[in-house]
Amino acid sequence: MPQRRYLVSGRVQGVGFRWFVEHEARRIGVNGTVRNLDSGEVETFASGSDEQLAELRRALERGPKAARVDRVDEQETDFDFSRYTGFSIQGAW
């Protein structure tokens, strides 16, 4: 199963971006996690089919209404998905 790391830059913190990603990832059916980074970026790890991951990337490029996405960097990863069933937000209350 393909695995990707996405790094999203722009106005992506404080605008509900992680919750948007969680909603879209669950709708699409990918496993993984999303978190804010100290750099102001949002990092997402996802595992799914090529089609699912392409759909997730389009969602990341769009973002929620209050966000401004400047860039989405994507790379393959060997992230350990064994502890994830479904999709979760890291650092949420």
- What is the full DSSP assignment across the chain? --EEEEEEEEE-SSSSHHHHHHHHHHHHT-EEEEEE-TTS-EEEEEE--HHHHHHHHHHHHH--TT-EEEEEEEEE-----TT-SSEEETT--
Clarify whether 18 is annotated catalytic: yes
d(C-alpha 72, C-alpha 53), whole Å: 13
Among 26, 36, 57, 68, the active-site one is: 36
Among 4, 5, 11, 18, the active-site one is: 18
Catalytic residues: 18, 36
